[in-house]
Structure 1
Amino acid sequence: MIGSLNSVRTLLLAIFVLMAGSGFLSTLIAVRLEQDGAGSLVIGLAATAYFGGLALGAMRVTPLIARIGHIRAFAAFVSIYSATSLTYAIVDVPAVWTGLRFIDGFAMSGVFVCLESWLNRLAKPANRSTILAAYMIALYAGQAVGQFLLNLGDNAPALPFMLSSILLSLAVLPVVLTQIEQPILEKVEPFSLGRLYTASPLGIIGTLVTGIMLGAFYGLGAVFVQRIGLPLSQIALFTSCVISGGVILQYPLGRLSDRFDRRRIIIICMAVSAALSLVLSVLAVPAAIFVCGALFGGFVFALYPLCVAHSNDHLNESERVGASSGLVLVYSAGAVAGPQIGSAAMSIFGPSGLFASIAVVALAGAIFGIWRMATSKPVPSAEQQTFRSFPRTTPVPSPLDRKLGEGL
């Protein structure tokens, strides 16, 4: 396994360091806005701006990367992100921070396209699954580890932003010094959302629901923990537990979906997510909150790849890359709406409103899934595609997933 990763080790190192330096910023910014007295709606707007930038970037950065090359583009996007990280420490104005979050999202989208298209080129039939798994581990491990940088800001409020900028700057080095040949980006043909819904209603609705839930969590989870009275160190631990749980449970849930009607597993994940969200909305014991948070992350993080796999079960090989582009767009739309839904609920019901609103959304998704099971036949087991976990970033991992299927 280690030998098969030699060709991509610099890219894996880059994404780990980059996520360690950027993955905690959404939590940090939410905490700082809360400490400065900003309301839930303002905090939710900042989170929405990030996901809006991420969605726009996923649709717009490819021509730029194709024109100037992966290395230059990667260095440019990360440099922009590093600059905005320092700007947070200099300009403490919520409206400015909201604009910076939009820029962050756009820049991060460019980073994902650069790295993921590189992985597509370097993966071979014998190591595609290993590379995809290693990329997921590096991405989420960096994000989970980076959460603990929050603890360094008690006595030096600017320090976490400075450390973020340092790590982001260091993440450029493995890429600009690499001797790996730059890839040619594959053109992703558009796939209309209407056709996608016709092919797989649960796939597209499940993806939208997942975006709403995770957008709300990433935007306001830290605010929830802070408002129920837990200290900064436990905010970082809670967020890290949710991300770690998401990594651990994706594979076993995916394997189950290969053995049974995948719709059933999606419905179970949504129903359990709703139940855990309701529990989190009333819990007050830190240890119980961390355990439930890890389980919540495990079931919610699994939903996106499950919905993609379910959609792929209803599509031809040639349609899947374009469909993935549509699903990323739908997920992004949900992630944009999620912080606004969560912030509105928190304004009305207090801290518990965040997870209560997530529970309602998850329950609605589960009910829709039950309706689909009652009105349509399952895909025969022999025709189901093998589950593969990949991130909710850009459509670029889809060619990797497609080629993996061709190589098996």
Structure 2
Amino acid sequence: MHTASPFSIASIVISMTIAAIGSGIMFAYVPFMLTHSGAPSWAAGGAVTAVAFGGLVGCVVGGPLIRRVGHARLFSCSMAMVIIAAVVIASDLPPLWWILARGLYGAAANVNFIIAQSWLNHAASNEWRGRAMSFFYMTYVLGLGCGAWIFGQIPTDGNLAPLAVVLFTSLAILPIGLTRLPNPPAPARVNVDIKMAWRVSPVGLIGVLASGGLSMVVQGFVPIYAATNQVPQTEIALLMFVMQTGLLFVQYPLGMLSDRMDRRYVLLIACAIIVAAGFAALFSSFSHIYLLMFVFMVFGGSVETVYSIANAHANDRADPGDFVPLSSTLLVAWSTAATIVPLAVTMLTPGLGDRTFIVAAMLVAVAYAIFVVRRLKERGPAPEADRESFGVRSAQLPNASALTEPEPGK
């Protein structure tokens, strides 16, 4: 098997970080504009749901498309779809077209991420693969934050923001398009086996399911909430940038703690933080914007923690032969919840108010915590042996490891 040095995979990390900057701009721009342009009240939330649904489609079709045309060609094609989506949004079209464009973006972005993770997993050696993947996650998420910050510096009275997305996406094609790394083997098909995933780890399966809804609700509706409350563009951009740092300041220390004790107890801690941050968000005002930024940083970071630790807990309990179907099932579970929960919040918000997403996230966290407590009583302490080391992961990105292993015999 071909392996590469850590420096040789820089092209993949650089490409995806540049692409993330463009994504961060669009994640901030779309809700801001839909909220301020007289679009229907459901349009901004519909765009969040469309991204998640498109991501689910991308997860399902990514593997077969890679098998058909290869990693490098599909990467260029999916980046082209991101550019098409940005051009549609830059055009003077009704909000429904924006929602369709966000769905196209969701599919393309997930395919891009699947390609990148597949390439990294194949190129990296066992000695440094975990560090490489953690670094990749951190640079990608921080790229999203930088993109949000850049949005704050761009005038919104024209189409400069979507054009900036086109620029960054075009630049992102160059490093990975010129890489000398060989294409990985054909990925496995997505094999969904709910019964197997439940048998291996109910806490892991339900945790990833919960994190799908939590992530898209918190990350998707915070800019809508801020824009609805007439928060200035620059402060919305700073808010979204600060939220991404929760990956470092909340997830990382809790993840390290989960390597030293039963991960289920750490999941309960994360759920408690989500509920506490939710209460703080409910009773905080945008007049104290920097305090609210801290609250949402903790909110977002604790959501990231549920995803990463639930995923690690499931892998702890799985046999090697179950890794691919387990990852496939977790992938589809995350994407399904990331579609359904934002859709429900979008439908309820007109009647219940713009803080509905906060209450929804708190309810999901409470329900999951109750489930974890029940499993602790039923199963008892987790075994200490054969546990994988915690790795930084983002709930904003699909669990694409299902598509990074070749089929048996390949």
Question: Which category describes the TM-score, using the shorter chain as reference length?
Answer: over 0.9
Contact 1:220/1:343, CA 8 A, preserved across alignment: no
Q: Is the 8 A contact 1:281 1:351 kept in 2?
A: no
* Structure 1 residues 398 and 7, CA gap change in structure 2 (3 angstroms): farther
The residue aligned with 1:183 is 184
* Aligned pair partner of 2:302 in 274, 299, 304: 299
Cα offset for 1:55? 0.9
Secondary structure of the residue that 2:184 maps to in structure 1? coil
Alpha-carbon separation, structure 2, partners of 1:388 and 1:176: 28
1:356 aligns with 2:348: no
CA change 1:189–1:75 in 2 (3 A) is closer
Structure 1 residue 164 displacement after superposition? 0.5
Alignment of 1:216-365 (within 5 A): 216-284=217-285, 285-365=288-368
Q: Is residue 243–residue 296 contact of structure 2 (8 Å, CA) maintained in 1?
A: yes
- Percent identical across equivalent pairs? 26
Offset at residue 155 of structure 1 (A): 5.2
State the TM-score, normalizing by the size of structure 1: 0.92
- The alpha-carbon distance between structure 1 residues 378 and 351, as it changes in their structure 2 partners (threshold 3 A), is same
1:195 aligns with 2:188: no
The CA distance in 2 between the partners of 1:306 and 1:142, in whole Å, is: 23
The one-letter amino acid paired with 1:374 is K
Deviations 1:169-204 (A, max 9, x none): 110011122222111133156241122123222211
* Structure 1 residue identity aligned to 2:43: V
Q: Is structure 2 residue 48 aligned with structure 1 residue 44?
A: no
SS of match in other structure, 1:313: helix
Change (3 A) 1:210 1:257: same
Deviations 1:341-386 (A, max 9, x none): 3323432232222212211111111111112212222222224332
Shift of 1:249: 2.5
Runs of 5+ consecutive residues of structure 1 not aligned to the other structure: 403-408
More helix by share: 1
**Cα distance per residue 1:114-133 (max 9 Å; x no partner):** 21111011101222122112
Please give the alpha-carbon distance, in whole angstroms, between the structure 2 residues aligned to 1:401 and 1:246.
Answer: 26
| Superposed displacement of residue 4, structure 1 | 4.6
Matched letter for residue 147 of structure 1: A
- C-alpha distance in 2 between matches for 1:229 and 1:32: 12
Paired residues of 1:144 and 1:240 also in contact (CA < 8 A): yes
1:35 maps to 2:36: yes
Aligned to 1:118: 119
Q: Is it true that 1:380 corresponds to 2:347 in the alignment?
A: no
- Closer, same or farther: CA 351–49 of 1 in aligned 2, 3 Å: same
What's the TM-score, normalizing by structure 2? Answer: 0.92
The number of residues matched between the two structures is 400
The superposition leaves residues 247-300 of structure 1 with CA deviations (integer Å, 9 ceiling, x where unpaired) of: 333222111112111111101101210120121122111111011111112211
- Alpha-carbon distance between aligned partners in 1 of 2:377 and 2:131, rounded to the nearest angstrom: 37
Q: Distance in 2 between matches of 1:187 and 1:128?
A: 20
Cα distance in 2 between the residues matched to 1:214 and 1:389: 15
List 4+ stretches of structure 1 deviating above 6 A: 399-402
Cα RMSD for the two superposed structures: 2.1
- Matched with 1:406 is none
Distance in 1 (alpha carbons) for counterparts of 2:264 and 2:344: 26
Structure 1 window deviating more from structure 2 (282-291 vs 383-392): it is 383-392
1:153 Cα offset (Å):
4.0
Contact 2:204–2:314 at 8 Å: present in 1 too?
A: yes
Q: 1:352 to 1:42 in 2, by over 3 A?
A: same
**What is the CA distance between 1:390 and its match in structure 2?**
3.0
Following the alignment from structure 1 to structure 2, what is the Cα–Cα distance between the partners of residues 220 and 39? 15
Q: Deviations over 1:202-245 (max 9, x none)?
A: 21111111111111123221111122332111111111111111
Matched-pair contact (CA < 8 Å) for 1:207–1:307 = yes
Task: Give the conservation status (yes or no) of the 8 Å contact 2:213–2:341.
Answer: yes
Question: Does structure 2 conserve the Cα–Cα contact (< 8 Å) formed by 1:149 and 1:160?
Answer: no
Distance 1:126 1:206 in 2: 29
Q: 1:365 to 1:155 in 2, by over 3 A?
A: closer
Contact 1:281 1:354 in 2 (8 A): no
Instruction: Specify every segment of 5 or more residues in structure 2 that has no aligned partner in the other structure, as ranges.
Output: none
- Find the counterpart in structure 1 of residue 128 from structure 2: 127
Partner of 1:59: 60
Question: Quick one: structure 1 residues 155 and 303, their matched pair in 2 at CA, closer, same or farther if it must change by over 3 Å?
Answer: closer
Verify the 8 A CA contact 1:40 1:344 in the aligned structure 2.
no
Whether the 8 Å CA contact 1:117–1:185 is kept in 2: the answer is no
Per the TM alignment, residue 391 of structure 1 is displaced from its structure 2 partner at its CA by: 4.0
2:206 and 2:50 map into 1 onto residues whose CA distance is 22
Q: Distance in 1 between matches of 2:190 and 2:217?
A: 30
Q: Quick check: 1:168 aligned with 2:169?
A: yes
Q: Tell me what 2:83 maps to.
A: 82
